[in-house]
Structure 1
Amino acid sequence: MTSGDLPTSSAESGDGLASSVDGSLRASLRRSEHIEADLEIHPERYRMLTGDRPTGKLHLGHYFGSLSNRVRLQNLGLDSWVLIADYQVIYDRDGVGDLKANVYSAIADYLAAGIDPARSTIFAHSAVASLNQLLLPFLSLVTDSELRRNPTVKDELANSDRPMSGLMLTFPVHQAADIMFCKANVVPVGKDQLPHLELTRLIAKRFDERYGRANPDQQVFPLADALLSPAPNILGLDGTKMSKSRGNVIEIGMSAEQTAKLIKKAKTDSDRHISYDPENRPEVSNLLLLAALATGGDPARIADEIGDGGGGGLKKLVTEAINEHLAPVRARRTELMADPGYLEQVLHAGNEKATQVADQTLSEVRKAMQMDY
């Protein structure tokens, strides 16, 4: 099953925008379910792209929310591409911070978590010139109003106290170039990221319509599909959104002692009887979820085991579970960070492979546009 074998996404007719959004979501869910069912049978049919913005150290939200799934998909046999989106660091800020350190730290986290550079291509945005050159023709295929309707762009316009940069405005197209340069046909995303993927599909369709590739067998770009694998909703240790700036995260590379200190200060509540109730007891339930993710258990059953052990018993169990789960990851990460030459070698090899693929795609685009002089 290729992307073309799946139901095409479209806004279903109904009563207004809500109906259209619901219809699009249902179609995406159906396609995602078809793909998941096919992955174990025909993994060779899929190329996956995913990635991170290297603004800081990766933490448990990244580990359980995305890295574990990437390793799963890689091990199933998908052609996996992992993007370090370094250009996206500057779309909403004045500088890059410790960018180089963050990039190599991310690579160490990837490899320690189980991403294998022999089966997954790890590369950086800024190193692949042909990828970024695709922005020019792609920008001609979208309107200013379409960009401003993108949820991330709308949020920036509504909540930022500074003028929006041109890079911020066009970053949805940059994301499309990330996906399309290597002709990825599956992208693991959450429901909130579906508008980005819909714009990518729109650009692919418009390119082929505009440049005479209406025949599906001759299309330059496949229509990428969302892989809506359920990601756990992990909060920070204070019960709010997980964010390094709030100091409520456990970084993958932290020591067992640092992890224990942070969990000891985690927010719970006054009820000594531990129960899993995400709606009414979000802080306690979040710690139970972390323990479940680390042990492969069920948060409600873990709560029953703790019983009247209170916040102290809960935190002790969570600390032991996380430190035990991450011990081999952290040991491997320490080895990798001690060998920066190897990390550089992995990135350079990935950049070289990505450049070769991007050059070929750009050549096809130029030919379709009659610019292959």
Structure 2
Amino acid sequence: MDSFLASAARMPALKERILDAPDQFRVLTGERPTGLLHLGHYFGTLQERVRLQNRGVRTFVVIADYQVITDRDTANNVSIHVREAVLDYLATGLDPTETTIFTHSAVPALNQLLVPFLSLVSDAELRRNPTVKSEMAASGRSLSGLLLTYPVHQAADILFCKGNLVPVGRDNLPHVELARTVARRFNDRFAPLFPEPEPLITDAPEVPGLDGRKMSKSYGNAISLAMTADETADVIRRTRTDGIRRIAFDPVTRPGVSGLLSTAALCLGSRPEDIADQIGDKGSGELKRLTTEAVNSFLAPHRARRVEMAADVALVDDILQEGNARANQMAETTLDEVRQAMGMTYSIRDQKRQL
């Protein structure tokens, strides 16, 4: 049984434990601010974070700005993307008094954990990580030290707050497995300090892009949550379909048509096949009209809340300042515990405590 099947088999019992004792869990999740958040993020991660928060699970969301340069040369527009992400978090329902929202670069003690953690993994373990391999192939460049150690950065993100629950899809499961390995090896080598985080495989649907490929900022096939209704209509109108009048859901041979059907179905809570039958011979024009209406109606409440939040020019700064302060306090505490476990504390008081 591979790691995904083994993890999937544990999900029913894990979800029951979360419902019974949410205060026993700490969740770490987040993303790199490489662009605007889109519908894929909304259905894939944002809704799940709000559900966990509202169940009483202590939640940490890292906006991993340092990791933007993992596979690219610059961090252009990163500050804009950070601010836009916070607005989408708030509009979706994250409460900054309940959920700690922070930026990677603002928490030095978190990043210092990388040094001892790197001593616990081998070069071979890092090189066979699927994300490292796929990102290196996509970049077309030589492997950088930062990309090679990317999985250990993520382990530090998870463990600095003693995170024991990480919502993931199948593609990111190896990162949680490595974090479990780092925690276990640190505990065995030095002191029992870290929990072994458990992956929470979410039930979120896979959201295809408008062209049928995976929805991605880099592909230019995404509907961002920050778009206006007119911008949404424009990007849907420009989506390539085909010349076949009869609309049918066929992701292999009709990716553009199928991408639009999937997008409309998610927003309408329907099946793409049912929407295709509804449109029938009315062609791609009707498909695009229906998809535009479905997306704009679905996102209208989110966008209204977003506009309201954005009107308070100090709101995002205040939230990040508070979240960064909380994350720094926790990271410094964890780093002190790590130093003590490794025998690297040098004040007289600490030396007496060790004796």
Matched residue, 1:188: 167
1:206 to 174, 182, 185: 185
In the alignment, structure 1 residue 360 sits paired with structure 2 residue 350: no
* Farther-moved stretch of structure 1 (241-250 vs 201-210): 241-250
**Does the 8 A contact of 2:25 with 2:57 survive in 1?**
yes
Secondary structure at the residue paired with 2:193?
Answer: coil
- What do residues 221-259 of structure 1 show as CA deviations (whole Å, max 9, x unaligned)? 111111111332222222333333443221111110111
Identify which of 275, 281, 289 aligns with 1:316: 289
C-alpha distance in 1, partners of 2:318/2:77? 20
CA shift, 1:279, in A, is 4.0
Structure 2: distance between partners of 1:269 and 1:76: 45
Please tell me whether residue 42 in structure 1 is matched to residue 21 in structure 2.
yes
1:56 aligns with: 35
Equivalent residue number for residue 109 of structure 2: 130
Alignment of 1:260-279 (within 5 A): 260-279=233-252
Aligned to 2:351: none
Q: Which amino acid aligns with 1:325?
A: F
Match of 1:146 in 2: 125
* Structure 2 match to 1:287: 260
What CA deviation, in whole Å up to 9, does each residue of 1:234-290 have, x standing for no partner? 222223333334432211111101111111122333333333343443332322221
Structure 2 counterparts to residues 1-373 of structure 1, below 5 A? 22-211=1-190, 213=191, 219-373=192-346
How big is each residue's C-alpha offset from its partner over 1:343-373, in whole Å with a ceiling of 9 and x where there is no partner?
Answer: 0100111111111111111122112112222
Which 5+ residue runs of structure 2 have no aligned equivalent? 347-355
SS, match of residue 102 in structure 2: strand
Structure 1: gaps of 5 or more residues: 1-21, 214-218
CA distance in 1, matches of 2:22, 2:252: 38
Deviates more, 1:89-98 or 1:121-130: 89-98
Give the distance between the partners of 1:314 and 1:38, measured in 2 at CA.
43
8 Å CA contact 1:65, 1:232 repeated in 2: yes
The answer as to whether partners of 2:212 and 2:258 remain within 8 angstroms in 1 is no
What CA distance in whole angstroms lies between the structure 2 residues aligned with 1:225 and 1:32?
10
Cα 1:38/1:278, change in 2 over 3 Å: farther
Question: Residue deviations 1:174-198, cap 9 Å, x none?
Answer: 1000000011111111111111111
In the alignment of these two chains, the number of paired residues is 346
Supply the distance in 1 between the matched residues of 2:137 and 2:289 (Cα, whole angstroms). Answer: 42
Q: Which residue identity lines up with residue 150 of structure 2 in the other structure?
A: F
Amino acid at match of 2:276: A
Q: C-alpha distance in 1, partners of 2:221/2:187?
A: 46
- Quote the Cα distance in structure 2 between the aligned partners of 1:286 and 1:74: 31
Q: Distance in 1 between matches of 2:234 and 2:156?
A: 42
Distance change >3 Å, CA 115–CA 304, structure 1 → 2: same
- Other-structure match for 1:19: none
Cα distance 1:26–1:245, how it changes in 2: closer, same or farther (>3 A)? closer
Partners of 2:171 and 2:218 lie apart in 1 by: 22
State the Cα distance separating 1:96 from its structure 2 match: 0.9
Q: Hey, what's the Cα distance between the residues in 2 that align with 1:226 and 1:281?
A: 34
CA distance in 1, matches of 2:50, 2:235: 27
